[in-house]
Structure 1
Amino acid sequence: MPAQPGRFSTSRRIQQWTSDQQINPGWLGPRASQPYSQIWVKHFSEPMPDVPYSHFLMQAHDSLDADVIEKIDYALDIVKVDDWRQERKMRKNPPAVDKLPLPASAPSFGNPTGRGKVASVLRAFACWKPEVGYHPDLSLLAAHIIAVTGNEKATFQALVTVYRKYHLEDYFQGDNTQEALGQDAAKIWDAARVNFPDLAYAFSRFNQTDLFESTVDALLSTLLTQTYRPAMQAFEYHVRLLHFFLLPAGEYDPEDPRAQLRRLVLHIMARYSTAFLLPGCPGDLKLQTGV
């Protein structure tokens, strides 16, 4: 048990949850990621008058679709049913969603109270974007963010910010989402041929361009959340990658809002991992080529 419950273990071995570990009021996330926690909380705590977290959270309590609430609670394993008949019904017919694979190194996720913080963010977001409702990839991104910040408002505002910044409605709303993903994957392939010709050659040599684009499609549609593999890397390495998703380097081009996201995915595809795996400080994490 850590001296300060709610802190993360610095051990490379993944720490398992215990029932009495909670997020402290001054919690700053994983020890190796505290600089990121401070930056994220500071950056995403600025008021958003047009999308107030408290308003959408309260509105969700009154008006959010019951099916969405059920999916969120089931995915986070915080189902609370008072009526035993309803409980038996839900056990036989659970919602058609999977349990979210929450980072095991986050002690607060080991109990319903900690997972309830994620649920609050997801309910507010679903109320803001009822066309999206509950979406597992957005939900997992929210869980990864709150695992670092420990702050519901900052997490909600980070989620809203990236959704707007990258125009993610093209990926998650409407009937043309696959077309938008395919177009961005094709742009990344074109950029790879210019910036990383050896990478492009490795795929084109064996006529695997489709494989390249389908892999990029998966990275984009899951918002990089599936790049985290607990058995292969500590969570803080994933946090370093997420930092450039939330706060991308370089100038933002409003005419091409997903250019920075495509650049980040291209670097992942090119195994340009030094920037993420061996940084000395956040200032070392600079992406030097563009899409």
Structure 2
Amino acid sequence: MTEPAAAPALGVIIPANDEEDHIGRCLAAVLAQRGLGPGALEVIVAANGCTDATVARARALAPDFAAKGWRLEVLDIPRGGKTHALNLGDAAATAGARAYLDADVTMDPDLLAATAKALARPGPLYVAGRLRVVRAKSWVTRRYAELWTRLPFMRPGSAPGAGFFAVNAAGRARWGDFPAIISDDSFVRWRFAPAERLELPAGYDWPMVEGFAGLVRVRRRQDAGMRELQRLHPELAANEGKAAMRRADHLRLLAAAPVSYAVYVAVSLAVRLGGRDGAEWSRGRR
């Protein structure tokens, strides 16, 4: 009698909406991962509401995944929506440990093996890689990113999880379906106390929105997402764990990067002056 195949050590779920310009690089970085043998990895691309070649370009890489003994499944979901795509991706995955990866992110070649190893520990655990912001094309975004990466919550070990985070089976059991919310990444992160979160040395490249208007739009969306989480899950807010900005922090940042500080403040003021709209999901880099 043939025994059933063991479940993969790690499932990677990639929601993708019109990502034909990015999905190939993202999946190529997955294929370049080291330290995971045949059967150890499954990848679910949850393409949702796509009107471009995202699905075709992802499916074209299926032979390369099969050659490594890894499973690639590409879901062609008619309806758009990130959290809906995450739920269908979760339903298609068989691994207990899950990683959630944005389609415009590229990873270091040792990140997934290190993630799978870390998630094998007992007890609920949230894992993130070391986030690196991709050098932007626009001057304003480069200045904003310079300041943003110096903020207290971006200090090494903080595990912000933007663009990539993972949980083991015990951690995934802390919630059911993803609700229709704005900040799906913070929704997960808040379910883990700071002591239950781990940032790995291996990293990944994450693009930031281009241009002043895009920065304002995304910041407004992020702020709306945090207000939504605080309203719906106030009991979890204590798990945020981000260091607050003190007066000394502002003075330090102003002295270290005055132009970048001015850009960051200008974006913040524009967000405040623009009101509290932006409660719907939007992609910042377009």
**Common fold: TM-score over 0.5:** no
Q: TM-score category by the smaller chain?
A: under 0.3
Question: TM-score, length-normalised on structure 1?
Answer: 0.27
Higher strand proportion? 2
Higher helix proportion? 1
Question: TM-score, length-normalised on structure 2?
Answer: 0.27
